Amino acid sequence: MTVAALPISPHPAVDGGLQLEVTNVSPQTDSIVSITLADPSFRKLPSYVPGSHLVVQYGEEGVNAYSLTGSGNAPSEYAISVLRVEDGAGGSRAMHRLAVGDRVYVSRPRSAFAPASTATHHLLVAAGIGITPVLSHARAAAERGTTSSLIYVYRPGSGAHVDEARELLGSALTECSNRDSFQEVLTEQLTKQGVGTHLYVCGPNAFMDSVLDQARAAGWAEARLHSEAFGAAELDEGEPFTVNLVRSGLTLDVPAGVSLLETLEKAGKTIPNMCRKGICGECVLPVLRGTPQHRDLYLTEQEKAGNTTMMCCVSRSEDPEMELDL
């Protein structure tokens, strides 16, 4: 067996993290593989909050974030599942090439999709590979004695972790393979839940937006809604907006399909950055006015709710105009 060489040095986004060994690789579907990572000396790994993700380095310069599928309680291994994206930047294809015995640099787990401690029930909604963080939530809820239910949408034959979800949730799992059946279940669940229920959704952006909008229309308070995007690869081009740089006295237009970071760079601003995927936290900017549309995986939910900072490589503006302390 040939063990792939570790990169010469860890990427800054995983610096201060861990060097782990691949202990298992198992296909979930034709395009999704589950990878288990453990300490080469069998030491326990840091615990994590359910719904956390791990940044994994691939090659010398690439990093991607993947949701951890375990409950996070005193783990001896970290498990992630990776969807192969053929036209992506190459990270998922590199992950699919990993074999048992390979070593990788990873960050410590980061939480940006935590369960609400006050929730009396967790309603989980996932599409496709979006199953991974909500599986973590379902496992943690089962361990802690909190109830959860899951609506899982996947194309026939392409569902990952289906058997685990069935075993874990039993009749609290609803599997949907088409839009109509999903819509029917979602409407019913959104209208019958008590006010102690929190909603967690993960999937493509349009899917999440639709679920969250329907929850709002059904009277769910914003504080009960939680979502996690897949990462930069799935981001849409967004709406155009205008940004005022208060200290520089500059006003810039950010067109659809162009990031705020690119716009600032074009205007001659030097903004520290590393991953350009909303993962590493380097490109953070202070917001003075306006509501950022947070699309990163770095800020915590509380930081996002505070709306005083944003990651300019992926995040945009909810409003037509915003002001930055720059």
Binding site for ligand FES (CB under 6 A): 273-276, 278-283, 296, 298, 311, 313
Least distance from ligand FES to the Cβ atom of residue 296, Å: 6
**Cβ nearer to ligand FES, comparing 32 with 279:** 279
CA-CA distances (angstroms) from residue 1 to 24, 77, 99, 179, 232?
14, 22, 9, 45, 34
CA-CA distances (angstroms) from residue 91 to 55, 59, 270?
11, 8, 27
Least distance from ligand FES to the Cβ atom of residue 273, Å: 4
**Cβ nearer to ligand FES, comparing 162 with 274:** 274
Least distance from ligand FES to the Cβ atom of residue 70, Å: 25
Least distance from ligand FES to the Cβ atom of residue 106, Å: 16
Radius of gyration from C-alpha coordinates of the chain? 20
**Cβ nearer to ligand FES, comparing 79 with 279:** 279
- Name 205's Cβ contacts closer than 8 Å, sequence gap at least 6: 229, 234, 235, 236
**Cβ nearer to ligand FES, comparing 37 with 280:** 280
Least distance from ligand FES to the Cβ atom of residue 61, Å: 13
CA-CA distances (angstroms) from residue 177 to 34, 128, 200?
22, 10, 19
**Cβ nearer to ligand FES, comparing 70 with 231:** 231
**Cβ nearer to ligand FES, comparing 190 with 287:** 287
Least distance from ligand FES to the Cβ atom of residue 9, Å: 18
